[in-house]
Amino acid sequence: MFDVAIVGGGPAGASCAAFCAGARLRTLLLEREVFPREKVCGDCLNPACRPILERLQLAERVWSLPHGVLDRVEFMGIGGRTLTVALPVGDGAEIAVKRSLLDQLIMNRARELGATIHEGTTLTALTRPNSVAGNWTITTADRTFESRTLVAADGRNSTVARLCNLLPKGARERVALQTHLPLPDGFGNRVVLQFLPEGYSGQAPVGDGELNLCLVSGPRKIAALRHWAEARFGISPGHSWRTITPLTRAPIAPANPSLLLVGDAARVVEPFTGEGIYYALASGELAAGAIIARHQGRAETEVAAAYSAAHDALYRGRLWINSLARAAVLSPRVASTFLEVARFQPALLRLLTKRIVQ
């Protein structure tokens, strides 16, 4: 019997578990994979993540992991034209760190604070509470748990949302491929966002002499984009890639009776912007605050309304960037045209970059 059960051990679920366990709630975290594991992600960590990591007492540990310090972003059009925008430096710098390292660190912090964690555990069934005072029954392949509150932190293809008939249909308009490669000589401390006729490529150094390489394209063109990457970076045709689809999906109401959704389970943001980890950490902390408030006696309806409002405020004013990024990714030729225009109005690109990283 737990106060809160969280399904999904990525940054959203693990941060929520850590904050809940730190408040002395009986906290359960279920994760399908066995950590460490890699994840389809650009691996970039925005400066806005640091205050949350500090509240988890993890900031110094994260920055001590192998990582790349990113001092500029290069936008490269289809014709090869490049525009460079400087990124913040010092404590406000953006870094890139492998998800296998970051996610395990946050999960271990939840374990340190007292959360009960089961890895390699797949959710198979859910039974909703039959009253306000009732509990969720959570069934896995080999055991059953009960919890007062349930948190879905299991990504864009959330099993919790599916079992609760909340998961909207995703549009398979794009596919993402991701891998790590030896860092090319002279690559430097930069992020490269490169538009190509087939889609786009994101590249960033992640420390220890490795490069994160992401490819995004439509299903019909992803093979051609992979062939481009093989030629560009000397990758063998048999190289193993991680993949994910869909890249977009309609949002789900983040608060339901005794059920909260965090990270990509609630709202999927464009991977192009590199903001996904920030939204995961921030929504995980917000959900933990709501769960703690309920445990302290606040009415469930009040807690749900407060979490919904805070979750909406987290995204408000930034979704236009998300929409603009999605349009650029869907139409790389249009994005390349925008880069040509930005050559004469560079303040536009600097403004967009500043809004994303700050």
Which tokens sit at 353?
A: 């970059």
Other beta carbons less than 10 A from residue 317's beta carbon: 9
Q: Is residue 39 a contact partner of residue 242, using CB atoms and an 8 Å limit?
A: yes
CB within 8 Å of 345: residues ≥ 6 apart: none
Q: Which of 83, 87, 101, 88 is nearest to 43 (CA)?
A: 101
- Residues forming a β-bridge with 260: 151, 255
CA 51 – CA 59 distance, rounded (Å):
8
Other beta carbons less than 10 A from residue 112's beta carbon: 12
Domain ranges, ordered by start, for the chain: 2-42+99-168+249-320
- For 2-42+99-168+249-320, CATH number? 3.50.50.60
CA 101 – CA 125 distance, rounded (Å):
30
CA 141 – CA 124 distance, rounded (Å):
6
Q: How does pLDDT run along the chain (358 residues), one tens digit per residue?
A: 999 999 999 999 999 999 999 999 999 999 999 999 999 999 999 889 999 999 999 999 999 999 999 999 898 888 888 888 888 888 788 999 999 999 999 999 999 999 999 999 999 999 988 876 789 999 999 999 999 999 999 999 999 999 999 999 877 778 999 999 999 999 999 999 999 999 989 999 999 999 999 999 989 999 999 999 999 999 999 999 999 888 888 899 999 989 999 999 999 887 766 788 999 999 999 999 999 999 999 999 999 999 999 999 998 877 666 666 667 767 777 777 766 666 656 665 666 666 555 5
> DSSP string of 170-220?
PP-S-EEEEEEEEPPTT--SEEEEEEETTEEEEEEEEETTEEEEEEEE-TT
Residue with tokens 């859910």: 126
Given this model, what pLDDT does residue 174 score? 85
- The pTM assigned to this predicted structure is 0.91
Sign of CA dihedral 242, 246, 250, 253: negative
DSSP summary character for residue 317: T
What counts of helices (H) and strands (E) characterise the chain? 11, 18
235 by DSSP, 3-state: which?
A: coil
